[in-house]
Amino acid sequence: MLGFEDFFEYHMQTKHSYFSVRSFPNRLDWNNQPNVFKTYPDTFEKIQLDLEKNNHSFIYYIAGITAKKTYPGVEYYLRVNPSAGALYPNEIYFQSRGNSDIEDGVYHFDIKSSSITLLKKVDDNGVEPFIGLDTKQNGFIFFISSIYYRSSWKYKNRAFRYCLLDSGHILGSIEASAYIHDKEYEIIYNFDKKELNNLFGFDEKEFFTSCLKITTNTDKKVEKLILDLPTIDGSFYFETNKLIEKAYNDSLKTFDCSIQKEKVNFNYQKEFFKQTILNRRSIREFTKQAITINQLETILDILSQPICSDCDEKIDIYYVANRVKQLRPGLYKDNQLLEKGDLSSKAGYLCLEQDLGKDSAVTFFLTSKGKNYQALYQKASIIGHRLYLASNYLGYGCSGIGAYYDDEVCEFVKDNTQVLYALAIGK
Ligand SMILES: Cc1cc2nc3c(=O)[nH]c(=O)nc-3n(C[C@H](O)[C@H](O)[C@H](O)COP(=O)(O)O)c2cc1C
C-alpha cells in the first residue's frame, strides 16, 4: 500500500477537497492580471509566418491564434492549444538547422504577431550539447517553458500542475502538427533545465519543463551555444510562489526512467485532421447525446498509442461511461467494468460539481503512481490533447478539467494514486 510519502510532496499539498475550495475561495487581483504574450524587442529580427511555406505552417499549427473573442473593453485570443483558464503560461523556443525557409538559428515563437523571433544564428555552435549531443542535428529542437505567474495569478499553489498540463498540450500540438507535416518526434525530459534557464536569461520567472526534437544526426561536431539575451518581462506583473519554485526544483532530475522508442502511428485523413486542429475548441456545455461504442474504442486506441520519450511514465486511464450506445454505464479501466450503474452525477460532482463531467458521454480521469512528476504530468496532457483532437475529429466536443476533488476521485476509482487530469467528451 502506497502512503503519503510515496507521492510527490507538492501534489499532496495542492489537492482540492470539498472543504478546501469552500474554506479558501480564490479571489483574483484584476489590477495585476498578467499578460499572456511574450515579445522580444524590435531590435531582434522577426519573420512573419507564411502558411504557404511548409516549415512555417508546421510552427503555426503548434500554437497559432485561431479565434478572437471580444467583450466590452476586452479582446482575447484563442489558440491551437487549449489552456487552463486561457492563461497560456507557456512559451515556445526552438533551434532550426538545415530546414527550408527557416534560417539556421535559435528562435522564440511570437504568438501575438504570428512570427518567429531570431534570437541568435547558429553554425558550429548550437543547443545540441545542452541535451547531451556533441554533433549537429538537422531539423528542429524545441524547448517548452512556463512563466508560472500567468497561471498562479489565478490558480495559486496549484498552478504548477496547470503549467505542466498546458505544456503537455503544447507537446501534443507539436505531435499533431508533426503528423500533418510528415515529421517524427522524440521528447526529452532529461536535460539540464537550470543551465538552459540561465542561458535564456529567465531570471527565476520562467522555467523549461521539456524538450522535443525532430532531427537527423550528422557527424559534424558542435559547440555549446552562448546567448546574451535581455530578460524580457513576459507577464507584466510577477509574484514569486515559493511552493511552485520548490516543486519545480524537486522535480528537475529524472530517475529510473523507461525509454519509449516506438513512434506514434495515427491514421487520420490529413486534410480533415488539419481542419480539426484549426477548429478545435473546448466545449462549454453538453446536450447529453451519446457516442457509439465503436467511436469510444477508436478514441481509446488513439490514446494508448506510444509517446516516444526518454522518460515514459505509466498513466492509468479511468473512464466513466455515461452515454455510450451498447455499453453498460459505469466506471471502466482497460475495458474492464469496475463499477456498474449511472455514475454521471458522481462524475460531475468529482469535477468540482462542473456539469461538464455529468452531462458528457464519457468522463475521463488520468492518474499515475510514477516518480518523475514533470514527465508524468506532461504525458497525461499529451494524452488529453489526443483526446481533444480524436473526439473533435469524430464530431464530438471535449473539455479539459483541471479542477477535481483529488482524494474523492481516488476513493471512487479505488486506487491510492495521483490524480493528474480529468476530461469530458460528448455532444
Ligand atoms: C489543463 C486544462 C484544464 C482545464 N480545466 C477546465 C475546467 O476545469 N473547466 C472548464 O470549463 N474548462 C477547463 N479547461 C478549458 C479551458 O478553459 C479552455 O481551454 C480555454 O478557455 C481556451 O479555450 P479553447 O480550448 O476553446 O481554445 C481546461 C483546459 C486545460 C488545458
Ligand 1 contact via 84 beta carbon (within 6 Å) = yes
5 Cα: distance to centroid of ligand 1 (angstroms): 31
Confirm whether 257 is domain-assigned. Answer: no
Confirm whether 19 is domain-assigned. Answer: no
101 Cα: distance to centroid of ligand 1 (angstroms): 34
- 238 and 294 inside one domain: no
Question: Order of strands across the sheet with 105-110?
Answer: 46-48, 115-121, 105-110, 90-97, 135-147, 206-221, 186-188
- 212 and 316 inside one domain: no
Cβ neighbours, 10 Å, residue 175: 24
CATH number at residue 190: 3.40.109.10
Ligand 1 contact via 401 beta carbon (within 6 Å) = yes
Ligand 1 contact via 117 beta carbon (within 6 Å) = no
Ligand 1 contact via 402 beta carbon (within 6 Å) = yes
- 245 and 99 inside one domain: yes
Out of 250, 265, 298, a domain closes at 250
- 48 and 186 inside one domain: yes
CB 145 within 8 A of CB 202: yes
Residue to probe by mutation, ligand 1, list 144, 399, 419, most atoms within 8 Å of CB: 399
- 359 and 299 inside one domain: yes
Confirm whether 263 is domain-assigned. Answer: no
- 202 and 326 inside one domain: no
What is the total count of domains within the chain? Answer: 2
pLDDT of 24 reads 77
Element (H, E) at 221: strand 206-221
Residues in the chain with pLDDT < 70?
1-4
What Cα–Cα distance (Å) separates residue 116 from each residue in 79, 141, 380, 385?
16, 14, 28, 24
For the chain, the residue count is: 427
- 238 and 287 inside one domain: no
Residue to probe by mutation, ligand 1, list 26, 36, 76, 83, most atoms within 8 Å of CB: 83
- 197 and 346 inside one domain: no
Confirm whether 268 is domain-assigned. Answer: no
Amino acid letter for position 265: N
| Cell numbers given for 255 | 530517475
Confirm whether 271 is domain-assigned. Answer: no
Ligand 1 contact via 293 beta carbon (within 6 Å) = no
Confirm whether 319 is domain-assigned. Answer: yes
| Cell numbers given for 188 | 526529452
248 Cα: distance to centroid of ligand 1 (angstroms): 23
Q: Which of 29, 423, 79, 10 is nearest to 280 (CA)?
A: 79
CB 18 within 8 A of CB 405: yes
Ligand 1 contact via 385 beta carbon (within 6 Å) = no
pLDDT of 4 reads 61
pLDDT of 32 reads 83
Q: Which domain holds residue 185?
A: 25-250
Q: How far apart are the first and last CA of the chain?
A: 39
User: Which residues have a Cβ under 8 Å from the Cβ of 25 and sit 6 or more positions away?
Assistant: none
- 162 and 51 inside one domain: yes
Residue to probe by mutation, ligand 1, list 282, 381, 404, most atoms within 8 Å of CB: 282
358 Cα: distance to centroid of ligand 1 (angstroms): 16
- 338 and 215 inside one domain: no
Atom of ligand 1 nearest to the CA of 281: 26
pLDDT of 128 reads 98
Q: Is 374 helix (H, G, I), strand (E, B) or coil?
A: helix
Ligand 1 contact via 2 beta carbon (within 6 Å) = no
Confirm whether 258 is domain-assigned. Answer: no
- 144 and 221 inside one domain: yes
pLDDT of 2 reads 61
Ligand 1 contact via 372 beta carbon (within 6 Å) = no
Out of 250, 270, 291, a domain closes at 250
- 214 and 342 inside one domain: no
Atom of ligand 1 nearest to the CA of 403: 8
Confirm whether 220 is domain-assigned. Answer: yes
